[in-house]
Structure 1
Amino acid sequence: MYVVSSRSRSRVGMAVAAACGLAALLAAAPAPALTATSGARTPADDDRSRAGEVITLRTARVGSPGNPPVAVVPFTDAVYQSCADAPEGTSDCQTLGAVAYPYEIGQLEITVGQWVAFLNTVDPDGRDRHDLYEDTESSSAWPKYGQVDFDEDAARGRHYAVGYPQWTSKPYGFANFLEAARLANSLDNGRILSKETTTEGRFTYVTYRVRLSPRTERGMYDLTERDATRTSASGFVVPSQNEWVKAAYYDPSGAGTFSYWKYPTNPGVFGDGAATAPSPTVLDPATGDVTNAATQPLASYHASDLPAPSWCPGQVPSGVCTTANPIGLDPATYADVYQGSLATVGQARTPSPWGTLDQGGNAVEWTDTITPPPGGTDGARVWRRLHGGVSNAPAFQMWPSAVGLQPQDNVFYSHVYPWLGIRIGVIGDPGPRS
């Protein structure tokens, strides 16, 4: 039997009534009615950082500082050279994509394996003081989407484990912004063991090996501040909206429209709907590996009139993935709402103009850009922008105009939305420390 424990059941219960609205996570805002530290480093700090696990992070270098922005009207099939060119009467046009400095952004999304290393580093005793884990993430509570298992009786620093081996190289999908910021802080407070720059064709990559730090509340982001922003000009970050958009769409060679692609995989044609969208991935039904990588351009999203890319761990009994869920939805509703699955990172193989992978489709990703709340809501919560499309959503979610937003700590989506991911960026020039 697949169940969710009592500590999450009360919060999960509220999902039943609203689960059918999941696809609207990145929709337009609803009408009125998703290495630097703060303070000086001490020897004791360095000793604590040595206790962490080591992860490898590969970034793509993004140049052309001072590039022009592009203007968009949210969720429309067009871009403009400026908001003055947008249709008359448009009130919500915004410009994005301009970045005045060189920077780096993760070639890939943060994987489940990397996230488990982070959890065991920052929560070695399994107390979860910062609400980094929910039971709905477990493979027993949610057979199709459960990525991370928790064992309260495990040895210190081993309470968290990848649910099934197939999840190790899939994007972590249950993130909120505060979790993304804590990962950035752990990297920022950690020890860079090595840093290597390589060139592959027209792309430049930087590979970091970092021993994670257990210190997560201060670093690049001071999380004692409810609307935390960057505290340093050098270190690991959650990318801003402009950094994310530039890496995904801005083509320094001038291809696209005003040098911006329609998809992070190909220039496309604005105004043609999904006619020039990338092909959707096909996944191995038991592993989630991409089986049609030779078809290019390619992205993990739900194309119209085709099945969403989907898989279920081969260890799960037949039929369980289509029925067992911690939200209590009936099988028909569950099958309709939860279709798409996350694919193994990088296997779609189609690069953005700067060499990143999976910025189109797979998991939608957080940025650290704060945005006003939707009309008709109060300012009690901090809202942040998200981008990237999702394996459960159609092609328009991959457009540059898909400027989604969500509260940074949305408990509801942390429980019921398994496609919220993280991509780490780098600003300045952090390097190995002795």
Structure 2
Amino acid sequence: MNVVSSRTRLATAVVAACGLTALLAAPVAGHTAASGDDGSRPGEVITLTTARVGAPGNPPVAVVPFTDAVYASCADAPEGSRGCLTVGGVDHPYEIGQLEITVGQWVAFLNTVDPEGRDRLALYEDTEGSSAWPKYGQVDFDADARRGRHYSVAHPQWTDKPYGFANFLEAARLANSLDNGRILSKETRTEGRFAYVTYKVRLSPRTERGMYDLTRRNATRTSDSGFVVPSQNEWIKAAYYDPSGGGTYSYWKYPTNPGVFGDGAATAPSPTVLNPVTGDVTNAATQPLASYHASGLPAPSWCPGQVPPSVCDTANPIGLDPITYADVYEGSLATVGQARTTSPWGTLDQGGNAVEWTDTITPPPAGPDAGRVWRRLHGGVSNAPAFQMWPSAVGLQPQDNVFYAHVYPWLGIRIGVIGNPAARS
């Protein structure tokens, strides 16, 4: 599934089944700048491991969106190519999450910033719950739970899966919570040629200001040191740029292996096979590997063992009939890291699993768009074919797309680090 196309099979099916009125309702209004900013409350602790990305000043590469090629510059792209972009060049060292943000980490964030369970920041949709969506529901809400425990992982199997219902504003709020939080420890280690940093951070309930001032619709970074949502160039460099010169112009075709540009999916990684009741990867010995929907093969899929298969196959919050539902919703998110195939910098799952937000603002795909802010996304998805993992898959979506918040369970977050946030803790 192409999350960035102007019209998808998913959108067509949902519009036919439900109509646009309910799904495109306006977001909750009336939040004040102070919402979520009560700094007196203690937060939960999460552990975040990043991969260090060096070689500052690396050369960028040119891409034409969703085409099977890279070029040394846009001047080398075929004549008449529209929308050529130069991507991947970064002039500073930085860090990027080794893994995607998990459901367990997201639940810790929710309980930190919304201990009363009032959802004043509109961080939760009913479609994220296991009752509304047995196959894809990750997070349950209990209005009667005690303070700081209103949100819970829907089933234990979801704890180490990527959180999949994110919009950019949620990703930015998580970055702010980390940025305003307290770093309890910071440890650096090397594994072969890769360098990793593990942070233990007590999250802050302050979400509206920090690295991103969310009183501004087009929020950008406010500091050169702290936790961030990676930029498009930072994301692409970590996924594809090979400092040893492998690939084409030093860029891989997939975040898992150099591949061969121009050969379609012939050199794509193998698709994961998932345990049908846990979502764990069962074929990790097959390398390179990624969670995506390879042509001619079933999409990687699972359903929590606590749910009867007949319910998983049919029950959905969108009102799709079983045949349409089975056709549109095939792929599932796998346990993070279990594909085991690293990018040139040691990250995992930048190819497949969940598509991930960046903080890069981009023009809308065609003309004015009523003031909405659009951001770039990358990474493929377990429900999509191999081309979604190419460096040219420079997708875009409104940063607060209400439609996808209801119907798209594969939108994830990967956190980055710039500068030295430990010095400010």
TM-score over 0.5 (shorter chain): yes
Whether the 8 Å CA contact 1:98–1:246 is kept in 2: the answer is yes
Aligned to 1:150: 141
Aligned to 1:125: 116
Match of 2:300 among 286, 293, 309: 309
**Cα distance, 1:317 vs. partner?**
1.3
**Cα distance, 1:277 vs. partner?**
0.1
**Cα distance, 1:225 vs. partner?**
0.1
**Cα distance, 1:297 vs. partner?**
0.1
Structure 2 CA distance, aligned partners of 1:18 and 1:79? 38
Structure 1 CA distance, aligned partners of 2:14 and 2:348? 34
Whether the 8 Å CA contact 1:191–1:432 is kept in 2: the answer is no
Structure 1 CA distance, aligned partners of 2:114 and 2:243? 42
Structure 2 CA distance, aligned partners of 1:135 and 1:48? 28
Match of 1:171 among 150, 158, 162: 162
Structure 2 CA distance, aligned partners of 1:280 and 1:214? 39
Q: Does 1:162 align with 2:153?
A: yes
Structure 2 CA distance, aligned partners of 1:213 and 1:59? 20
SS of the residue aligned with 1:431? helix
SS of the residue aligned with 1:243? helix
Q: Does 1:428 align with 2:425?
A: no
Match of 1:227 among 193, 200, 218: 218
Whether the 8 Å CA contact 1:75–1:396 is kept in 2: the answer is yes
SS of the residue aligned with 1:48? coil
**Cα distance, 1:48 vs. partner?**
3.4
**Cα distance, 1:375 vs. partner?**
1.1
Q: Does 1:295 align with 2:293?
A: no
Whether the 8 Å CA contact 2:238–2:343 is kept in 1: the answer is yes
SS of the residue aligned with 1:385? strand
**Cα distance, 1:16 vs. partner?**
2.8
Q: Does 1:63 align with 2:61?
A: no
**Cα distance, 1:17 vs. partner?**
1.4
Matches within 5 A, 1:62-101: 62-101=53-92
AA aligned opposite 2:127: T
Q: Does 1:395 align with 2:393?
A: no
**Cα distance, 1:19 vs. partner?**
7.5
AA aligned opposite 1:192: I
Matches within 5 A, 1:9-408: 16-17=14-15, 48=39, 51-408=42-399
**What do the CA deviations read for 1:302-325 (whole angstroms, capped 9, x no partner)?**
000000000000000131111000
Structure 2 CA distance, aligned partners of 1:220 and 1:206? 20
Structure 2 CA distance, aligned partners of 1:320 and 1:360? 30
SS of the residue aligned with 2:96? strand
AA aligned opposite 2:88: G
AA aligned opposite 1:174: F
Whether the 8 Å CA contact 1:192–1:432 is kept in 2: the answer is no
SS of the residue aligned with 1:17? helix
Aligned to 2:3: none
Whether the 8 Å CA contact 2:55–2:243 is kept in 1: the answer is yes
Aligned to 2:8: none
Whether the 8 Å CA contact 1:56–1:208 is kept in 2: the answer is yes
**Cα distance, 1:379 vs. partner?**
4.6
SS of the residue aligned with 1:153? coil
Structure 2 CA distance, aligned partners of 1:423 and 1:168? 16
Structure 2 CA distance, aligned partners of 1:335 and 1:321? 10
Whether the 8 Å CA contact 2:41–2:205 is kept in 1: the answer is no
Whether the 8 Å CA contact 1:189–1:215 is kept in 2: the answer is yes
Provide the aligned length of Structure 1 versus Structure 2: 398
Structure 2 CA distance, aligned partners of 1:169 and 1:18? 34
**What do the CA deviations read for 1:125-166 (whole angstroms, capped 9, x no partner)?**
000001000000000100000000000000000000000000
- After TM superposition, the score normalised by the length of structure 2 is 0.91
Evaluate the alpha carbon distance shift between residue 211 and residue 432 of structure 1 in structure 2; reply closer, same or farther with a 3 A threshold: farther
**Cα distance, 1:47 vs. partner?**
9.7
What is the percent sequence identity of the aligned residues? 87
Q: Tell me: higher relative CO, structure 1 or 2? Use CA pairs within 8 A at least 6 residues apart.
A: 1
**What do the CA deviations read for 1:29-73 (whole angstroms, capped 9, x no partner)?**
xxxxxxxxxxxxxxxxx9937600000000000000000000000
Evaluate the alpha carbon distance shift between residue 14 and residue 412 of structure 1 in structure 2; reply closer, same or farther with a 3 A threshold: farther
Structure 1: which 4+ aligned runs deviate by more than 6 Å?
A: none
**What do the CA deviations read for 1:345-367 (whole angstroms, capped 9, x no partner)?**
00000000000000000000000
- After TM superposition, the score normalised by the length of structure 1 is 0.90
Greater mean deviation of Cα atoms: 106-115 or 48-57: 48-57
Whether the 8 Å CA contact 2:62–2:85 is kept in 1: the answer is yes
AA aligned opposite 2:302: W
Whether the 8 Å CA contact 1:49–1:212 is kept in 2: the answer is no
Structure 2 CA distance, aligned partners of 1:176 and 1:433? 28
Whether the 8 Å CA contact 2:17–2:319 is kept in 1: the answer is no
SS of the residue aligned with 2:325? helix
AA aligned opposite 2:72: Q
Structure 1 vs Structure 2 CA RMSD: 1.8
**Cα distance, 1:378 vs. partner?**
2.4
Structure 2 CA distance, aligned partners of 1:305 and 1:294? 21
SS of the residue aligned with 2:101? coil
Structure 1 CA distance, aligned partners of 2:13 and 2:386? 26
Whether the 8 Å CA contact 1:19–1:416 is kept in 2: the answer is no
Aligned to 1:409: 400
SS of the residue aligned with 1:320? helix
Mind listing any 5+ residue stretches in structure 2 that lack a counterpart?
Answer: 1-10, 19-36
SS of the residue aligned with 1:120? helix
